[in-house]
Chains A and B, each alone.
Chain A
Amino acid sequence: MRVLQVLNSLTFRFIARYVIVLVSAVFAVMLLLFAYLSYGYFRELGDGIREELDTLEVVYRGQSLPGVQRYLRDQQSAPTGAHFSYLLTDARGAKLAGDLPRVPRYRELSGGWLAFQRALWFEGKSPDVDFLARSRDFGDGTRALVAYNFADAAQSGGMVFGTLVRAMVATLILGIIGGFFSASFAQRRLEEFSHRLSRIVRENVAERMPVEGEEGHLRELSLVTNSMLDQMSMLMQGIKQVSDNIAHDLRTPLTRIRNKLNQLRANLEPGGQEAVDRIIEDCDDLLSSFNALLRISALESGSRATADQALDLAVLLGDVVELYEPLANDKDIALRLEAPASCAVRGDSDLLFQLFANLVDNAIKYTPRGGEIAVALEGAGDSGARVEVRDSGPGIPAADRKNAFRRFYRLEASRGKEPGHGLGLALVQAIVQHHRGEVSLGDNRPGLRVRVELP
């Protein structure tokens, strides 16, 4: 999986392409050089054969056959120099002189060149001894054939060529392997980068990408990303600030309207009083939304100084359950507390009470008549605790659970049906995070399970 990922990575593809192009280029240059050297070799060889034929013709014309025979003997016994093979035949093709036994079966190449293989008549020898030859008629039917064995040259040429190919293949493989490792290194860096970034976006938008120790593009990318995150936080902050300001600024006039209405209702007929009572209730709902919103903001920004006292969570949960028990009872809901005798945690008792009151309140709101709600507390060793509030209501679909903690988020299903301002869970989360705890939603099969973990 990981290998595939690296192979598919941009870096690897760049490096592989580069290595292939480089190796091909080097191979082409080498091939050109090889062709040039081979051409030079064969031209020299051809010139040598032609000169030899010229010499033979001159000797034949001057000294006839015995001169040629003498010349050939001299050539054979010469200790150095290129060793040509010779054959002199008469008009009928019979051998007159030379070291080749008879006229070979040859292939005709362009430009009067002949090629043959010696093994065709020397039995038992390796068949790939190649000769390049040229023959000439001396005018009276006598033909001279001068051949040169270029097998060695061909062999070393082949070896050079083979080595070249192997070297190229090795370069290619090494390049690809090197490319794989650099790509996997680059890939790992990028993965680290993206992991970190997604964690920042998911968990803590206040965190930033590290710039120290980074180099080059990654450093630049980190810097750009950080400034992007800064802007994002600023915008988010701005939106929160605006909504906070609206809530804050509307609270005072709203309170005054409420006060005035309360005074006015005394002078009204009973029918009018009821209408005013409903308006006052609406005012109270709005005020409670605004207050919840401002409390969430204060908790999130950390500007709210809170108490950090030792308290017994078992007692606190007992109080919550006791407070909500009559409400649950009215809906025929069994509200149970499962808790040890005591469970010490540190925190702000008012905030924690608010937290669990919200959860139990929600549970009662969404659990149908005759349902069940359990508040379960488990102490976790020396410090910390886990509380689960489980209900038998409709629950929250897995896809919506992440959003459920957003401010003003309400499930489509409950929108308009149940009272509430969609801030209950947002406040829960703000309080839990303020206590450095964690809150998660799960499935109670059926129903919702809210788990709160406090350190």
Chain B
Amino acid sequence: MKVLLVEDDRSVGEYIAGELDAAGYDCALVADGETGLRRAREGGFDVLVVDRMLPELDGLAIVQALREAGDSTPVLVLSALGEVDDRVQGLHRGADDYLTKPFSMAELQARLEVLHRRAGSSGDAPTRLQVGDLEMDLLSQEVRRRDTRINLQPREYKLLEYLMRHAGQVVTRAMLLEHVWGYHFDPQTNVIDVHVSRLRQKIDRDFDAQLLSTVRGAGYRLGGD
């Protein structure tokens, strides 16, 4: 995956680029907004990672310029402040995701994967989701594994839907909170784990193959890679 990282803080930028390279990404580092926008326009990147605060041309301006030019390359905005309003504004102006510094590399990688995969899947909305022998009918909202029907609470259904839509990818707890519950907050305890283990009880308990696995230090993954 080719990533363009626009980050003015040299040490932070080099650190992230180094980590991404080590993790098998192809990361290009640019230190200012003007160059960043030029490189992004030249194309060839799968995902852009842009710092919110940049000298001269800031991150949100880059996103806006790209979107106005019809470029739909997914953009993840990095912010040192993590201000909610900033986040809302960033997403409003065309950014696809927002991450507060400092973040764990696992979190960044999980989000990059999701963005990359989302960009790959063309706009057609599926009516069925399938992971292994687990099936979800989005119209009738029915969930089956092999021939057993699984009864889920509404939130469990949403949780499973999100996991199935990102099957094979690592999904972090923060991502689940943001997308399944719709709130961006910092839980004091791992309250998400309890929900996931309930879901796991329902979809995995009576079957040999375990679909939902925990990825230590990162989050969860549904299905194999």
Residues of chain A touching chain B, judged by Cβ–Cβ distance below 8 Å, are 251-252, 254-256, 258-259, 261-263, 265, 273, 277, 280, 287-288, 291-292, 295, 298, 304-307, 319, 322-324, 326-327, 330, 348-351, 353-354, 357-358, 361-362, 365, 419-420, 424
Contacts and interface: CB of A to CB of B under 8 A. Distances in A.
A365 B190 CA distance: 12
B132 interface: no
Contact of B194 (A327, A362, A365): A327
Interface centre among A258, A291, A330, A357 (most CB of B within 10 A): A357
10 contacts: A252-B12, A258-B104, A262-B106, A265-B217, A280-B217, A288-B186, A326-B191, A327-B189, A330-B194, A357-B185
Nearest to A351: B84
A322 B155 contact: yes
B104 A259 contact: yes
Given A298-B81, A424-B188, A305 B104 contact: no
B218 A324 contact: no
B61 to A, nearest CB: 18
A420 B187 CA distance: 11
A362 B191 CA distance: 12
Given A259-B105, A306-B84, A327 B183 contact: no
Contact of B84 (A259, A280, A348, A424): A348
B25 interface: no
A103 B96 CA distance: 134
B194 A305 contact: no
Contacts of B182: 319
A13 to B, nearest CB: 57
Contacts of A358: 188
Given A252-B102, A306-B83, A361 B189 contact: yes
Contacts of A280: 216-217
B191 A304 contact: no
A420 B188 contact: yes
Contacts of A261: 217
Given A358-B188, A424-B188, A319 B183 contact: yes
Nearest to A255: B102
B99 to A, nearest CB: 12
B185 A354 contact: yes
A255 B84 contact: no
B198 to A, nearest CB: 6
B155 A349 contact: no
A319 B181 contact: yes
Contacts of B185: 350-351, 353-354, 357
Interface string B203-225: 00000000000001110000000
A389 to B, nearest CB: 14
B184 interface: yes
A327 B191 contact: yes
Contacts of B12: 252
Nearest to B108: A259
B183 A305 contact: no
B86 interface: yes
Nearest to A308: B85
Interface string B72-110: 000000000111111010000000000001111110000
A192 B25 CA distance: 68
B187 A361 contact: yes
A354 B182 CA distance: 12
A420 B184 CA distance: 20
B186 A292 contact: yes
B110 to A, nearest CB: 12
B195 interface: yes
A306 B85 contact: yes
Nearest to A274: B216
